[in-house]
Amino acid sequence: MRGTNLELEQPKLPVFGSWLIEDVLKIYELPFLELMYQAQTIHRKHFPKNTMQLSTLLNIKDGGCPEDCHYCPQAARYQTGVKAKKLMSTDIVRKQAQAAKEAGATRFCMGAAWRELKDRDVPAIAALIQEVNALGMESCVTLGMLTEPQARALKEAGLDYYNHNVDSSEDYYKEIISTRTYDDRLKTLGRVRNAGIKVCSGGIVGMGENREDRAGMFVTLANLDVPPESIPINQLVPVPGTPLENTTKIDPLEFVRTIAVARIMFPTSRVRLSAGRTAMSDEMQTLCFMAGANSIFYGEKLLITENPDIIKDRALLTRLGIQVEEHNSVKKYCG
């Protein structure tokens, strides 16, 4: 029989909490065009079409991290040329956040190369969150593991999102990090959720994991009590000096499939096309947007590595007729 619309019916998806790896693999295995169609259809049901949310990252505490995450240029044990610095001053952070706002970002995400937040740093971090909120931007921080009282203190300071990635499947995680467990990560995510902060959690694709691992990562996220509002999908940036520097690059279409699977599994979450965009063609990024990515990191730097220039990103969005979301509209949508 020739192709008809009947073949394009949406499959019934498991409810959150009951996803199995097999369910995810079935989605991955759809013919590419069918997968894209389904992802874009779901996307349009839950988000305005042709729009993009912009988040800007700032590294507020560079390098010197005691952890052994094999991908990370900020781990002190790898020779990556990154120097450890102290926590950035409130003045500099305010200026950077103001500049990001003027450039069009609606969310400002501050990262620290810490294993965990220390109680003594909580007041300084709370002040940074307040500065960002005072500008009318959404605030996000990623500071490593948190205790319950710390999560509550960040909420009280007005924090909108906490980023803490599961990074991969539970199995593959063990190949990548030995200094803290998958369960440690899940505990921090639970504390963030219980404190009433929105959860930003995703991972890295292209670390040598297989499709089952990618599916396993999504199963973990889908089976949290409440799935993350925001899901960053990073393509590995292979940094010289890290154990993953020579990792074979993932097939670009498998990466696009991964974005589409995320969109289908998490219909109301923000799916962020995160690290790795400098290594992607305009065409690949366009496919990622078609697959349902509706947020990017915006600004010439990620934490340590490069990100596309603002001018280049603006030109791409204009070419594609994609409108940048403004602050007022962003608050209306989840994630």
Active site (catalytic) residues: 65, 69, 72, 109, 140, 200, 272
Host H or E run for residue 109: strand 107-112
Which listed option, ligand SF4, ligand DTB, ligand SAM, none, makes contact with residue 236 (CB within 5 to 8 Å by class)? ligand SAM
Query: According to the binding rule CB under 6 A, does residue 231 interact with ligand SAM?
Result: no
* Strand extents, DSSP E, 169-246: 198-200, 203-205, 230-235
Residues 125-184 that bind ligand SAM (CB under 6 A): 142, 144, 164-165, 167
Residues 56-75 that bind ligand SF4 (CB under 6 A): 65, 67, 69, 72, 74-75
Please, which residue, 38 or 55, has the CB nearer to ligand DTB? 55
Name the residue among 48, 57, 70, 65 with its Cα closest to residue 113. 65
From residue 46, alpha-carbon distances to 100, 263, 267 in Å are 27, 10, 7
Which listed option, ligand SF4, ligand DTB, ligand SAM, none, makes contact with residue 80 (CB within 5 to 8 Å by class)? none
C-alpha 220/C-alpha 148 separation (Å) is 21
Query: According to the binding rule CB under 6 A, does residue 144 interact with ligand SF4?
Result: yes
Please, which residue, 146 or 222, has the CB nearer to ligand SAM? 146
Please, which residue, 109 or 290, has the CB nearer to ligand SF4? 109
Neighbours of 119 (CB within 10 A): 10
Please name every residue paired with 271 in a beta bridge, in sequence order, or none if there are none: 231
Query: According to the binding rule CB under 6 A, does residue 275 interact with ligand SAM?
Result: yes
Q: Least separation, in Å, of the C-beta of 87 and ligand SAM?
A: 13
Q: Least separation, in Å, of the C-beta of 5 and ligand DTB?
A: 37
From residue 311, alpha-carbon distances to 78, 284, 299, 308 in Å are 33, 18, 9, 8
Please, which residue, 69 or 125, has the CB nearer to ligand SF4? 69
Query: According to the binding rule CB under 6 A, does residue 72 interact with ligand SAM?
Result: yes
Contact range with ligand SAM by CB under 6 A, out of 79-87, 222-230, 235-243, 257-265: 235-243
Cα-based torsion angle of the residue sequence 224, 225, 231, 234 in order, rounded to the nearest 10 degrees: -20
SS3 content of the chain, % helix, strand, coil (to 5): 40, 15, 40
C-alpha 237/C-alpha 278 separation (Å) is 9
Site residues (CB under 6 A) for ligand SAM?
A: 71-72, 111, 113-114, 142, 144, 164-165, 167, 203-204, 234, 236-237, 239, 275, 303
* Residues lying near ligand SF4 in the complex (CB under 6 A): 65, 67, 69, 72, 74-75, 113, 115, 144
